[in-house]
Structure 1
Amino acid sequence: MDELTLIEEADRRAHAYLAGVNERRVFPDAEALRALSAFEEPLPDHGRDAAETLRRLDELGSPATVVSNGPRYFGFVVGAALPAAAAAERLMLAWDQCASSFDNSPIAATLERIAGRWVLEALGLPPESAVGFGTSATACTLACISAARRRLLARKGWDFDADGLLGAPEIKVVVSETVHVTVKKALRILGFGMRRLLVAPTDAFGRIDPDRLPPLDDATILCLAAGEVNTGEFDPFEALIPRAKAAGAWVHVDGAFGLWARASSHAHLAKGVEGADSWTTDGHKWLNTPYDGAMAICRDADALAAAMNSDAAYATASRDAQKNLTMEFSRRPRGLPIWAALRSLGRDGVAAMIDRHIAQAQRLAGSLREAGYDVLNRVVLNQVLVRAGSDAETIAIREAAQASGEAWFGPTVWRGQPAFRLSVSSWRTTDADIDAISELLRRLRRGTP
């Protein structure tokens, strides 16, 4: 089979998969999982037929997928891929661009520059900010915190690039007691010891309490959250950020999904967040782009460009080249699906999608309260945090829902007790899907399969 015929066959199979996405089990059944053992084969001595390889991938692999690209996946605050974003991704694969700089890919550099500007406009962030398109919130947090530490040390006369950290002034980090694991991971990788982090107590909703904020100074990075991962709440930016700026601290905001509230009628939830120094957000969560698309945003464009610079004698580029704003040198143009999503939705479309999901989350919460569940959060965003009557019942209901194949959502722990978390973030999710998951949980609470 020649190259174009093989690609056409892959497109046919992908089309068939998408055509049935509404009817597929959200989590594969036992038979599909057992069939994965067929992939356990030794490395072939001689190459296998490409068409047969594709057929095996589809026939054995597709039934074993988690249908996060469907309407009833409520796990991990991830959305399905918008048609425009998915189509752009397919064309991007055919282009096969190394999107490190304009010289490597003029089209990628142009569209990622435009996408960065659009992201800043949509989120209401400072227009002078640099936007690096990275793989994930973790990688983008690494970039932002690296820039923050380097800049704070420079203000104290320390040359981080030349002298490293040995003997450097200590940079302290203040985090919330509900800080997301990706922020902790980035800090750990960068050498900020977990026992040395200053932990800010939170209120009943998971927001940092300004009255109990640890002391800040000009050698401090303050990490805040736009959308706490369980409750969807926002740290009180208007109270915290001016205090941090007055002390000379750097403020970083983890806004993996919650920052997109700024593009909706609920922008007031994140009022004041534009005063921070850096932000991270994802495309593959609430903007509904394919995975592997996140953003490191830094008000001080020079700080991010200097921290991430990867120029070499054989590969120099402009300050705002993506290889000089992100962790990766050889990289795919991750900003292209984000550009396509924003262009196809427009301001109105982004706002309508975010507003709809928040309304659906509130609809779901109301239905579950009527069914006797304890909804633990105020549901200000798209997160619904739930417990049943006991720890055992909460766990059993969540496991039964997952096993049903009708929907999927994951476990969590809130204030020391098991709970489960439903995230409404897929463009495919309709009110009928919300009613269906509500009915499923009603049945399970009554003990009815």
Structure 2
Amino acid sequence: MDAREAALRQAYGHAVRWLASLSDRRVPARASVDEIVRALGVELPDGPGRPADVVDLLATACEPGLTAFPSGRFYGFVVGGTEPAALAADWLVSAWDQNCVMRTVSPAYTAAEEIAGAWLLDLLGLPGGSAVGFTTGATMANFTCLAAGRDAVLRRTGWNAAVDGLAGGPAVRVLAGEDRHMAVDLALRYLGLGKPELVQADGQGRMELEALRHALATGGRGPTIVVLQAGDIHSGAFDPFVEAVRAAHEAGAWVHVDGAFGLWASASPQYAYLTAGCADADSWATDAHKTLNVPYDCGLAIVRDPSALGAAMGLHGDYLIQDRRGDPIDKVPELSRRGRAFTVWAALRSLGRSGVADLVERLCRHAAAFAAGIAGIEGATVLNDVVFTQVCAEFGSYERTERVLGRLLDDGTAWISGSTWHGRRVMRISVSNWSTTEDDVRRALDAIRRASGSA
């Protein structure tokens, strides 16, 4: 057995043991950063070591410091697990080691990206022929789509941002809801557009239509982008897309939808009503690691007009082997990147249309079960309308809610973290993992009851 095979076998053994431990292990990590540093060792060795020994040390030293994010009992953030076919495909992605930017250089990747992109448009009910770029995550998906939107609205005024930059050009106005995700602000900052103008939202985080219409009517007809939201991070609520998109387009604005986890509602006949009218927008961002449950590093930037995305992201290099039909490089910011579409293709091929719908609906059923269980706990109140996968609850007061959260994490059965929503300290539950079972929900609810009873 050569050194590479021995290292891979060692990694496989540790990976299988890790995954097998998820059903019973505490969800929070058991060791601190300092403890892991000591276990790994801080001195760089003078000479080489056996790769298998290095893998063994890494896995053994780090295991106590791992949080069970892939567990069916992790509800702290909107992060999915990894669906089996996607996980196995991701191992192949690393082994194949493709530079997935050019059609001619990696035809296998380009084929997988084109098929997966077409499947995604179909599943999400988005316009056929839209460009689909595979980014690092939802933040860069928002960045990519908003870059296309920024340049497009400036071109309408006769200003070429790609040539002339932003200085001296017309100011781009961006309108977004009060309860937008912080990733939108970050993307706008990267793009030199600054903080958006905030449009009033209702108690669930949905943009108020009359407030949007007023903002559009009073801001002039300059280049404008309107950012809507599919899935509020606290309530799971969806903006009123039909009327909001119509109002924005009548004002000449580009409409972008941040749908990091909520855009997947479109794949379910039961929940597609939440995204009605969303397909009329100009661009959409989502994250395949969240609701679809592929490994990290897989955002999706979708733009109705492929030429707008190409104008913002495309480049030319004399040493590159570019194809007149277009390349993956034309749709995302990076040159060097992983074969993200392989994992998306594997997940979609494994689940099929009905499997994706069932996944979405199962996550929503678990969220509803959490809401019903918490509502039965003395002193607990569910604060949001549970329309998708998010649940927010409080336990009588800021201080008591904080105590419940602390005792819940100490218990270790589940990871459920807190947030502040509309000035209230809340327990925020995000159901995102394909492997979560009814028993996982029951165990988590039992832990919440214990924490609440001792608070």
**TM-score bracket, shorter-length normalisation:** over 0.9
The correspondence for 1:436, drawn from 433, 438, 443, is: 443
Q: Distance in 1 between matches of 2:308 and 2:43?
A: 48
Residue 155 of structure 1 deviates from its aligned partner by 1.0
Contact 1:130–1:320 (CA under 8 A) maintained in structure 2: no
> Relative to structure 1, is the Cα distance of residues 34 and 313 closer, same or farther in structure 2, using a 3 angstrom cutoff?
same
Contact 1:121 1:127 in 2 (8 A): yes
Alignment partner of 1:95 is 2:96: yes
Deviation (angstroms), 1:2: 1.5
**Alpha-carbon distance between aligned partners in 1 of 2:82 and 2:335, rounded to the nearest angstrom:** 26
Instruction: Give the secondary structure class of the aligned counterpart of 2:264.
Output: helix
Give, in whole Å, the separation in 2 of the partners of 1:212 and 1:31: 47
Aligned-residue identity in percent? 40
In the alignment, which residue of structure 1 is the partner of 2:246?
242
Identify the residue that residue 402 of structure 1 maps to in structure 2. Answer: 409
Cα distance in 1 between the residues matched to 2:188 and 2:94: 33
| Superposed displacement of residue 31, structure 1 | 7.0
Q: Match for residue 286 of structure 2?
A: 281
- After TM superposition, the structure 1 = structure 2 runs for residues 422-433 of structure 1, keeping only pairs within 5 Å, are 422-433=429-440
Q: 1:190, 1:252 → 2: CA distance?
A: 15
Match of 1:269 among 266, 274, 281: 274
Distance 2:170 2:334 in 1: 28
Q: Which residue of 313, 320, 338 maps to 1:308?
A: 313
Quick one: distance in 1 between partners of 2:52 and 2:135? 32
Secondary structure of the residue aligned to 2:95 is helix
After TM superposition, give the deviation of residue 33 of structure 1 in Å: 6.5
Q: Secondary structure at the match of 2:428?
A: strand
Give the counterpart letter for 1:290 in structure 2: P
Within a 5 Å distance, the mapping from 1:214-253 to structure 2 comes to 214-215=215-216, 217=221, 219-253=223-257
Does the Cα contact within 8 Å between 1:218 and 1:247 map onto a contact in 2? no
Structure 2 residue 4 is the aligned partner of structure 1 residue 8: no
- Deviation (angstroms), 1:30: 4.2
Matched, 1:421 2:425: no
* The one of 344, 349, 357 aligned to 1:343: 349
Equivalent-residue separation in structure 1 for 2:376 and 2:326 (angstroms): 52
TM-score, reference length from structure 2: 0.95
1:202 is aligned to 2:201? yes
The match for 1:148 is 149
**Residue identity matched to 2:65:** A
Task: Give the alignment partner of residue 375 of structure 1, picking from 378, 382, 392.
Answer: 382
Question: Which string of whole-angstrom CA distances, capped at 9 and with x for unpartnered residues, describes residues 80-122 of structure 1?
Answer: 1000000111111111100011122111110011000011000
> Could you give the per-residue CA deviations for residues 162-192 of structure 1, whole angstroms, max 9, x where no partner exists?
1111110111000111110111100011112
SS at match of 1:215: helix
Q: CA RMSD in A?
A: 1.4
Contact 2:371 2:391 in 1 (8 A): yes
How many residues are matched?
A: 446
Give the structure 2 partner of residue 131 of structure 1: 132
2:340 aligns with 334
Shift of 1:343: 0.7
Q: 1:208 to 1:38 in 2, by over 3 A?
A: same
Asked whether 1:295 is paired with 2:305, we answer no
Superposed counterparts of 1:309-324, under 5 Å: 309-315=314-320, 316-318=322-324, 320-324=326-330
Per the alignment, residue 122 of structure 2 pairs with 121
Aligned with 2:216: secondary structure?
coil
SS of the aligned residue for 2:189 comes to helix
Displacement after TM superposition at 1:309 (Å): 0.6
2:418 maps to a residue whose letter is: P
Deviation at 1:377, TM superposition (A): 0.4
Give CA-to-partner distance per residue, 1:390-420, whole Å, 9 cap, x none: 1111111112211222110222111112112
Cross-structure match for 1:360: 366
| TM-score using structure 1 length | 0.97
Contact persistence 1:174–1:223 (CA under 8 A): yes
Where in structure 2 are the equivalents of 1:18-97 lying within 5 Å?
Answer: 18-30=19-31, 34-97=35-98
Residue 218 of structure 1 deviates from its aligned partner by 5.1
Which aligned runs of 4 or more in structure 1 are off by greater than 3 angstroms?
30-33, 317-320
For the residue of structure 1 that corresponds to 2:393, the secondary structure is strand
Residue in 1 aligned with 2:110?
109
- Tell me: CA distance 1:231–1:300, structure 2 relative to 1, closer, same or farther (3 Å): same
1:415 and 1:318 map into 2 onto residues whose CA distance is: 51
Q: Is the 8 A contact 1:311 1:324 kept in 2?
A: no
**Retained in 1: the 8 A contact 2:142–2:285?**
yes
**Matched position secondary structure for 1:336:** helix
Whole-angstrom CA distance in 1 between matches of 2:121 and 2:112:
14
- Check 1:9–1:177 CA distance in 2 against 1; reply closer, same or farther (3 A cut): same
Partner of 1:6, secondary structure, is helix
1:192 aligns with 2:198: no
Q: Secondary structure at the match of 1:280?
A: strand
